[in-house]
Structure 1
């Protein structure tokens, strides 16, 4: 099927139909030109030059708009949150002095930290696990998850971004729960299983045309 043929009329694509409609307003003659003389123009040549007297150009089409009100956590904010966190203060006391010999005498909240006590250290008013992973106070945990998931990547990449720099007990489970509740991620999740809604039965009319009469005429 070509542009000027009538064969397959009504089955052509919309773009072909538009091109055919534009040609209807012209009187033209077709002239054959050998392929060796038909030099293909570059992509910039067909573009018209802007005219100051011409109509204004079309506005740009917005494909995607990404906005975020989240801001990065500064060093001062992080240190202030550590100073205000009671768990951090207790850990700093243990790291400065000495851990208890047995966890049975320890506050249950501190048990996850007791298991990794040999990996914890104190640096510049903050608690580190290992060489560089900062222990995040509870006040900033939710905000850091938001920042790590700001571009709506998956669970694995979000957790990886957090694990490279931070740590706190239950960080992975909190991250998974947050992403599973993210509306944007759920809308674009190709693995999500859709469920067919249950049928809503309509009561049968008592006589012929009863429903049509009620809908169009209304009650007496």
Structure 2
């Protein structure tokens, strides 16, 4: 027996115990710390690449799909509280809520419907509307909020987008909770709040004044050339390989040949180009969020652009898409057009 074990035996003599010797080769103690995992090579093995691709596939499959009016109709028919609200909206007997004792009904939610009864209309498809917005049944509310947060827009933009399409009691709290629990957003959002930018003078028509800026470099080595129409706030982003003189000088020559005024700003002074700079922040946030979620940053960026263009802008109150094209674009959230509402009325 080793001397070290004998010394332990002498120290433990005051205690009644039995010491059994077991060779170390038969009892590997604390294996993980004695045999740490070797540093991973920068180059991924084939198995690691396959595993990462599989995780990306599962993540993409888990994304919420577009919602249809038929889904909303079926979910509304299965929602007893919403069916009761439709019934009360048709007969106007909202005072009966106080007498209801059905445990399957959410009385508090019915009271909220009663407070806006003048704004409620029953659509021909048996869907309840608040003005032009669909009152979302309980089973689809989380999914609607997830669809509205596609592209990882901030709190204000997400609320503006979802409230332009649908409504349900507690919609603001539901959006707050989702964004608070969004790991990607919380990882890339600055904790320090910036003062809101002062709105510049609105141009008279689309494409009469544009803001442009370079953004990057990105992890791939690419740069983004960001153009924003100051009238509609409609953004366009082009991926470029370099911001060297070989890229910039042809643009200056193009401006001279086509006759538009190229107004330069003070270097390293973002406030002088507020419109483009204010758009760059959520754009880069989206790209960093895509990296955290191990998604394609290009696909995520295009998804963000689509969502941004269809969200009412804080300075205009209208979506950039509508100001530029004169109509609203289709989204993954269902909506009822104003023309159909007027024909029905």
Q: Which moved more, 1:173-182 or 1:106-115?
A: 106-115
Q: Which residue does the alignment assign to 2:76?
A: 82
Confirm or deny that 1:117 pairs with 2:117.
yes
Shift of the alpha carbon at 1:99? 2.2
Counterpart contact for 2:109–2:169, Cα < 8 Å: no
Counterpart mapping for 1:124-203 below 5 A: 124-130=125-131, 132-191=132-191
Work out the CA distance in 2 between the residues paired with 1:76 and 1:104: 32
Q: Which residue does the alignment assign to 1:96?
A: 90
Work out the CA distance in 1 between the residues paired with 2:114 and 2:99: 11
Counterpart contact for 1:79–1:126, Cα < 8 Å: yes
Shift of the alpha carbon at 1:190? 1.2
Work out the CA distance in 1 between the residues paired with 2:142 and 2:79: 15
TM-score by length of 1: 0.54
Counterpart contact for 2:135–2:167, Cα < 8 Å: yes
Unaligned runs of at least 5 residues, structure 1: 1-64, 194-220
CA RMSD of aligned residues (A): 2.2
Equivalent residue for 2:65, pick from 51, 67, 71: 71
Return the index of the structure with the highest Cα Rg. Answer: 1
1:68-94 C-alpha deviation (Å, 9 max, x unpaired): 622101121111011111111101111
For CA contacts below 8 A with separation 6 or more, give which structure has more relative contact order. Answer: 2
Other structure's SS at 1:81 match: helix
Counterpart mapping for 1:20-31 below 5 A: none
Shift of the alpha carbon at 1:103? 5.7
1:40-65 C-alpha deviation (Å, 9 max, x unpaired): xxxxxxxxxxxxxxxxxxxxxxxxx8
Q: How many residues align?
A: 128
1:88-118 C-alpha deviation (Å, 9 max, x unpaired): 1101111222223376445333111110011
Shift of the alpha carbon at 1:187? 0.5
Work out the CA distance in 1 between the residues paired with 2:94 and 2:185: 44
User: Which structure is higher in helix share?
Assistant: 2
Q: Which residue does the alignment assign to 1:52?
A: none
Shift of the alpha carbon at 1:192? 6.3
Shift of the alpha carbon at 1:189? 1.1
Summarize the Cα distance change of 1:108–1:148 in structure 2 as closer, same or farther, 3 Å threshold: closer
Summarize the Cα distance change of 1:150–1:117 in structure 2 as closer, same or farther, 3 Å threshold: same
Work out the CA distance in 2 between the residues paired with 1:101 and 1:88: 16
Summarize the Cα distance change of 1:110–1:76 in structure 2 as closer, same or farther, 3 Å threshold: same
Counterpart contact for 1:180–1:186, Cα < 8 Å: yes
Shift of the alpha carbon at 1:150? 1.3
Counterpart contact for 1:186–1:192, Cα < 8 Å: no
